[in-house]
Structure 1
Amino acid sequence: MATAANRLLFLLCTTNLLVLLSTSAAGATTDLDIRVDLIHVDAHRNLTLLERLQRAIHRGSNRFMSLRQGSTKGINGTGMNQSNIQSPVHTGSGEFLMNLAIGTPPLPFLAIVDTGSDLIWTQCSPCTNCFTQSSPIFDPSNSSSFSKLPCSSPLCSALPSSTCTPDCAYLYTYGDSSTTQGILGSETFTFGSDNKTVSVDKIGFGCGEDNEGNGFKQAAGLVGLGRGPLSLISQVGSSLYKQFSYCLTSIDDADMKTSRLIFGSAAVPKNLNDSKVAVTTPMVVNDAHPSFYYLELKGISVGGKRLRIPRSVFRLNPDGTGGLIIDSGTTMTYLEAAAYRQMRKAFIKGIDLPVADSSAVGLDLCFTSPSTAKTVEVPALTFHFQGGHLDLPGNNYFILDDSTGLFCLAMMPSSGMSILGNIQQQNFHILYDLHKNMVTFTPAQCDQL
């Protein structure tokens, strides 16, 4: 159990990240581990700390609304030989981008990385409706390794909406009403970093010929890392790739130190079996949202005192309501209001600072910070998961904006579901083990992985 107070340095923690992945240089490697470098998506934008925080909150709010949406939404399909197609809504618009390459010879492109959806796709020519992208649009006729997947393919059957034209035509819909539509194909994808690359053959992907909406314009497609059969982590298939991890540095650091996304055996933290530091909790499966990574949150303690939150507050229901999702693409943690109100009250009682108007920042609870203070005492925060207790460092749940002098809780109230955001995940090496159906948190210096 954590001590009653954590010493907190004034840190601004925003978690919108850009993944830079090198696919040049040394060619394929025999080391099949894949390492991806992560940097902040707002780096080099000359933004103030308040502007970065506001942008992060805005993106996080949109992401939460997408995750909370119902499982189906009516879409008027075009080119799908159906007048009205019911297409499940997926999250999309993740907080990370990845550079990878497609085809033979490999064509580099930039893609959103999304742990809340499954489909891998990129824009393809000939495009009937495509948004502007920085790299050339992929032309499958120029690749010797491209093939169309037949309607009999298991991946075609796994699509939420597909028709035979006679090829496997798909429609995939995201929570902000963005859509991608095209033909399902098979292709070689190339990944890598640290001057190493790995090529993986016969990955099923969406060759998007009609792509609409505002959710994709920072990239040329999307890589789904959800739990469904269409995702990258599911398709690569071998035991080596049935686990991945990431480790996010404190992004307020002026040096923008490198974070990591890792696939393969190197994804396993070195101190995985040290019960004094590692917290392991089982994933929970929900048929209404099979792609999401649910964890069973049993309770919360503030300042070493367990809050009186009924277990039903975090219960995951069969219809997909309730529960808690761990999501790398949501900035702040969102907690059901019944739990959040108790936590908020405990922090107000435990922090000897005046409560301030938080509207300028966009968060719910802020305090006025003394202008001369270098540190502040904050009550310890513990999340009690099934199987272990996760003690959070103080700068994983409180942030400071120097321009306003506001000292704010990086969490928000919600209704319908809860989400463990990525500010709360920073400086933990987080392993997703799809063999054992477990998620493990271990403290780490993420810039040293």
Structure 2
Amino acid sequence: MTDPRDTLPALAPRTRRIHPAWWVAAVAFVALMAAAGFRAAPGALMVPLHDEFGWSTSVMSLAVSINLVLFGLTAPFAAALMDRFGVRQVVATALTLVALGAGGSVLMTASWQLLIFWGLLIGLGTGSMALVLAATIANRWFVARRGLVMGILTAGSATGQLVFLPPVAALAESVGWRAASLLVAAIALIAVPIVWLVLRDHPSDRGVLPYGADAATWVAPPRHTGGAGRRAFEGLAFAAKSRSFWALAAAFAICGATTNGLIGLHFIPSAHDHGMPTTVAAGLLAVVGVFDIAGTIASGWLTDKFDPRKLLVGYYVFRGVGLLLLPWLLADVVNPSMVLFVVIYGLDWVATVPPTAALCRELYGERGTIVFGWVFASHQVGAAIAAIAAGVTRDVFGSYTYAWWGGAALCAIAAVLSITVRRARGTARRVPSDQGRAYPASQGDGV
């Protein structure tokens, strides 16, 4: 049944200059940015950890792989937990876990402890927010501009990389990796009270309708109170009947492999192999973050206007070309061709998220956020496999070249998978988002 409070927003005065949805989105952006800090840090900390402890690239890659798997597998359960206990409670707890993992890592003396701090705690904490937080905020608080908001919130991770990676790398090189880890822990803790004060679960909690909703036609979706685990698995069972779900999941696994798994973790060590200073390589990844912000927001805007499948094909093709050429671009100095790679890869980094989330919403209706959580889980599984595979490749062949070329081949497969996704009926002609209408919750192929 619909909560009676959901009828109240129609009576609320229309005198607010800024809709509360934008404040909620802004705080969610800050939370995502804070969580991104430590997810960006391992690439900058691998060389200092190797120098101090002698740990191999494979061992450190294994810790990050555990992080990435938990980051992904936690997502669908986090979406259900947000339904059950509230967004504010889940996000505040997640940020605390990130702080514990980052701060506790300064006590490490053995490689297995890396699996606890980098892997378990950081993986669970960041996975409890991740992109399911972005999808939850966009779907609950916005009817108009959903794609754009999803793009902006997704860019929060890129902003975290942009803001934190250069100082993390500089601290790790000048003061030590422990100071860098403590910086990330402090930022995560600072974000907790901001989240607690501003975030709310539903627009009715602020006495308003979702942004862009028509008071005459808006019907609030039912609120779910069942067990989080049961709802997460029910969402998976529902989506698994659809061929499009498996195509989206496989393509998004490749997305994770070619971003977090390869470039995010191994670009700095690979550049170091070619004689480039760690701080310079970290600066290049930060520039990737700059252009990622622009690319992801633009992708959200494009998703509101065009067929998401065609956007995905273009994104994967451009990414594959970049990876194919990367072995010839790396050098001990930054040349113009490397700058071009950074710009293109940055624009493409997580531009795949808004169209993928939109397709989940179109195909699976009110289950769309949880289904997107499972698709995102595949993203992180792909990232984890690529992270450890690239580390082993480096240890065996003494170079990352085959890892980059393998990523390029995977991107070609992802492009093919994306175009095979069948749109939900009734979405051939998309309604512009500024008309305040939601995507139809129609059935997709085999659902």
TM-score range for the pair, normalised by the shorter chain length: under 0.3
Larger helix share, 1 or 2: 2
- What TM-score does the superposition give when structure 2 sets the normalisation length? 0.27
Q: Which has the higher contact order (CA 8 A, sep 6+)?
A: 2
Instruction: Name the structure with the higher strand share.
Output: 1
